[in-house]
Structure 1
Amino acid sequence: MPDSRPPRWRDGTHLLVWTAILSLTATINALVALMDAHRRGSGIAFWEPLIWEFSSVGALLLILPLLWWGCRRWPLHADTWKRVLPFYVLASVVWSMLHVVGMLLLRHLAYAGLGHDFHDDAGLVQRFAYEYLKDVQTFALFVVLEHLASWYGRRQQGEARLLAEPDEGPAVEPVEQPAHFLVRKLGKEFLVATADIEYAQASGNYVNLRVRGHDYPLRITMAVLEQRLDREQFLRPHRSWLVSRAQLRSIEPLDGGEAVLHMADGAKVPCSRRQLPLLRQALSAT
């Protein structure tokens, strides 16, 4: 199945980059903590600060994919941030709770593996309150960077929008069913023909239009886009997908009544069990 998100670091590379950054930070923090402990005359083993820091890093890396998913599912925009912001505030609390629980669990496991018992002088509530003050800053940083990366990816690849009614004079073409979309890329605007769209996939508040190997995010719902496109040319095999009839090459039935649509560019698009009979009926009607 194609990855039709805006071009950006894919999750694997994204995770490796953050692993390297967080690991370097954890190593530095552990060395500083060890030097401070020796300066104060505290009797701690050299491995303890490493476990403290890397258990925090490990817990963060485990829950990072949840944050990325949330940012894609509820993107922040100038016209939606007031509605979405309370979700992010609540998500920061859940994020911190998962981080604290995961961090303490990893510490217990690491100490037990070395034949020691881990004791946390702070209670769970006190520990959470302390960690949340730090976690909310980390959470906000990750959210900002994620949205900046998404914005930069859309800017590099190009972001589409529907043609609007002109301020003066008649429309060049019917706006309700436009023959073109206006794409803005790196400060330039150009037209993408509706007939060149191979398929479209819903992604959060966007629908990604696939055109000649490129994805153009369009801020619209799939239901509205379906109304704007020619029903004779575009088919709805799945609630999250639209495909061009001209780009469909074959239908592969699956167990359970679903199917996979093979597109001209090699992409595989899912077809739901409910939509498969309707799809076959539409294809046989021509």
Structure 2
Amino acid sequence: MTTVTQSIPPAFTGLKTSADLARAAKAATPQEATTPAVATTTKTAIPASESTTTTTDSTSTSTSETTAATPTLSSDFNTFLQMLTVQMKNQDPLNPIDSSDYAVQLATFSSVEQQVVTNDLLEGLGAQMGAMGMAQLAGWVGMDARSSSAGYFDGSPISLSPSPERLADQTTLVVRDASNTIVQRIDVPVSADTIEWAGVGEDGLPFAAGVYRFELESYANDELLGASTVDTYTRITEARNDNGTTMLLLEGGTQIAAAQITALRQAD
């Protein structure tokens, strides 16, 4: 790292004999006078990871992420410097590479290096936020959550929250089992009030325990206006962190994101 920050013109790097130095000096162009600027740019680019590490001191998790990423970035930077040195050694003495080209290469690598570190820090921050969200949602466990997911029937009625079309004068509840087969169609009041599905067939026997989905068909003058998914209330059994996203596990095994919950109520 130290040899890169010295104010040595790129055309002179790697030259070992006096004859080589003489030829390089003869071939040097006026642009080499700006070479010290390259050294300054290089010196700024090298400690990019150091400045990022200072930013991450606020959280131990983010700091560990940066520490883990540093060896890889350092290795990549060393490889880049080796390639740059080879390029300087093998340049045409009669037509040396412009010093501004080196500055562009160094600036480009520095930008990529900082972006990689930033991405690692964002991943760490996302994981922290996910953990915080899960802790806050721990109180939801045991409550009934309303969502558009399937409801679980275990012999007890399932609370449904229908949303009929505004012009509907008749609505029909369509019930589907886990295989998406329609097992029941029932006429229900044209209302957005919560209704209870008893889970009992026309023969008076209860349906098998399992997961059921519900749709509401809205009609006007016996003409279908549309069908919409009916929200269900299902017990929350677990909150978990899945790749930085807080997920809720419902009775019956259905897993949904916390953002999909539209209402909560105390369990009966």
Q: TM-score per shorter chain, which class?
A: under 0.3
Work out which structure has the larger RCO, using CA pairs closer than 8 Å and 6 or more positions apart in sequence: 2
Could you state the TM-score of these two structures normalised by the residue count of structure 1?
0.23
Greater fraction strand:
2
Greater fraction helix:
1
Could you state the TM-score of these two structures normalised by the residue count of structure 2?
0.24
Structure (1 or 2) with the larger CA radius of gyration: 2
